[in-house]
Amino acid sequence: MPGKRNLQQVVLVVEDEVDVRKFASKVLEIEGYTVLQAGNAEDGLDLLKQHNVNLVLVDLRLPVNSGLWLLGEIKRTKEISSIPVVVLTASAEASQREKALGMGATDYLVKPISAAGIRKAVARVLRLKK
């Protein structure tokens, strides 16, 4: 089992594109993380309040409220503000990247991304957190 040691770590994937959400979740599950999934920012925030989440992987273009909105909510809410947020987006624009990092995102990943890309980014951020 490659990722048994990760079992106690919980990753929340917020992504409205079903295939991308399934892919990222599957990679992280195989790596031994516990994965929570949400299709929009509001559901994501609810899950964050109900569970102890160690990392959030979030898309920027989401229905209703955006990923940046969720990022802002996380950083604004004391109880969850220290959870690292990794952005996964199809927007390669520098301005978006700067905005997200400026708002407190820990990393900014651009689609398309490989299984290894997701795996390494999540592991790196969680290692840094420790």
List interacting residues with another protein (CB under 8 A).
16-17, 19-20, 23-24, 26-27, 30, 61, 63-64, 90-93, 110-116, 118
Nearer to another protein, 92 or 128 (CB): 92
**Alpha-carbon span 123 to 50, nearest angstrom:** 23
Nearer to another protein, 31 or 83 (CB): 31
Instruction: Give the shortest CB-45-to-another protein separation in angstroms.
Output: 16
Instruction: Give the shortest CB-23-to-another protein separation in angstroms.
Output: 4
**Alpha-carbon span 97 to 85, nearest angstrom:** 13
Instruction: Note whether 105 and 128 are within 8 A (CB).
Output: no
Instruction: Give the shortest CB-78-to-another protein separation in angstroms.
Output: 29
Instruction: Note whether 51 and 10 are within 8 A (CB).
Output: yes
Which DSSP helix (H) or strand (E) runs through 89?
strand 85-89
